[in-house]
Amino acid sequence: MWDFSTEPDFQERLDWADRFVREEVEPLDLLFPGTTEPYDRESGVFREIVRPLQARVREAKLWAAHLSPELGGMGMGQVKLALLNEILGRCMWAPMVFGTQAPDSGNAEILAHYGTEEQRREFLEPLLDGRIVSTYAMTEPTGGADPGGFTCRAVRDGDGWVIDGEKWFASNYPYAAFVIAMVVTDPDVPVHKGSSMFLIPRGTPGMEQVRGTGLGGEPPGEGGHGYLRFTGCRVPAENLLGEPGAGFAIAQTRLGGGRLHHAMRAAGQCRRALEMMGERIVSRRTRGGPLSDQQAVRQQLADSWIQLEQFRLQVLHAAWQVDRANATGEREHARAARLHISAVKAATPGTLVDIAYRTIHVHGALGVSNELPLMRLWQSGPTLGIADGPTEVHKDVVARLLLQRAEPAEDGLFGSYHVPTRLEAARRKYAGQLEKMEEAR
């Protein structure tokens, strides 16, 4: 049975989350617009404003909803998470207030599965409680989309590992209590089999930040994305998370769900832009009449709504694919989920850029000013086109998975859909009937 409705009980919780985000959380974007401020656990903003809001989310039983119940989450499937993330995407502070901010959400899952009891007590528990934040370090200056270019390595030395190399764009490092880094441990095999995950506590000798990097518009040398350098950085053997060589598999596990979360939050941003576009169109007058009288303007609104609805349903369908794969454990279902996740990832930046641009355009000079949030929203599109793997990589994944099912034609010259060839086959198939029809004429 096909059903596009939401259970009434869960819809009530979504309605509460929507009101809460609009009324209580969105004002924080105006008061504290810095991109790093949500991650500073020592700030008065966190103590006086964020913690009380987080307590209300806990009371509503929506805290860290992406986690399993044994980790303090709600055990929601990806479809329900998608619907919630659409709401959280409206503002920068919402994921933090609801305990679902990246990269902490993925790092918590890694620690839950691969951390020691002591590591879970020292790092996982306060991370789940929202008292600390963390960093995930995978990308390198010499290799971003191509892990084959990674040069940061760890060598076994006695009862520990020694790490040397660099990592790039390690988000939230200035405030992180620990780093989870993917490092090459066996350079003699492909990186997909020769990389490993390490837990590196803050303050570990040999780990330093070369400089902080921000997004476009932030002053050079500042920002919450660390350029890290490891020089003889020693960690105990137990800080290897999982088996040696399993780093890439662990990374893909944490990134899959995150891509869906980012996509549905992008849908939430687009929904907010659409609200602004509609308000502008019915409020503004030009050439002696309302802007809504202009057919070209109405078409921009229609194009945006259609594009958003198509994208939103694509994300929800991908989330359903993941839920089905988790429920059945079937390899084919897992393959389908991977296909749909990559397709969603590839579609996300273009959708956000297109809708944000149309909204900016309708607002004229006000749209490109710093008196509306639209330029910041537009900028997040290209960012999402790079984060968690660039668009081109995911398009290639989609194409390769589709080509696995493609069969070559027996007639390699004209193919199996060649009309003259198919027409002749159709005539042979219905020869008897065609003959009777001819005789009856």
| 253 and 183 co-located in one domain | no
Split at pLDDT 50, 70, 90, the class of 353 is very high
Split at pLDDT 50, 70, 90, the class of 318 is very high
Residue 272 lies in a domain: yes
Split at pLDDT 50, 70, 90, the class of 1 is low
- Asked whether residue 227 carries a pLDDT value surpassing 90, the answer given is yes
> Which 8-state DSSP code applies to residue 165?
E
CATH number, domain with residue 370: 1.20.140.10
Residue 108 lies in a domain: no
Higher pLDDT, 113 or 205: 205
Residue 121 lies in a domain: no
- On whether the CB atoms of residues 73 and 112 are closer than 8 A, the answer is no
Distance CA 42, CA 341 (A): 36
| 214 and 297 co-located in one domain | no
Distances in Å between the Cα of 218 and the Cα atoms of 55, 109, 221, 266, 310 are 32, 31, 9, 22, 34
Which of 244, 262, 281 marks a domain boundary?
Answer: 244
**Which range (17-21, 108-112, 263-267, 320-324) has the least confidence?**
108-112
Split at pLDDT 50, 70, 90, the class of 209 is very high
Which among 24-33, 140-149, 208-217 has the top mean pLDDT?
24-33
DSSP per-residue letters across 110-140:
HHHHH--HHHIIIIIHHHHTTS-EEEEE--B
- Asked whether residue 42 carries a pLDDT value surpassing 90, the answer given is no
The number of domains in the chain is 4
Residue 114 lies in a domain: no
- Asked whether residue 50 carries a pLDDT value surpassing 80, the answer given is yes
Which among 23-37, 67-81, 347-361 has the top mean pLDDT?
347-361
Split at pLDDT 50, 70, 90, the class of 382 is very high
Residue 113 lies in a domain: no
The reported pLDDT for the residue numbered 274 is: 97
DSSP SS3 for 76: coil
> Which 8-state DSSP code applies to residue 186?
-
Residue 266 lies in a domain: yes
| 196 and 261 co-located in one domain | no
The reported pLDDT for the residue numbered 343 is: 96
| 155 and 274 co-located in one domain | no
The reported pLDDT for the residue numbered 286 is: 86
The reported pLDDT for the residue numbered 98 is: 94
Split at pLDDT 50, 70, 90, the class of 207 is very high
Residue 325 lies in a domain: yes
Which range marks the domain in which residue 219 is found?
133-244
| 267 and 239 co-located in one domain | no
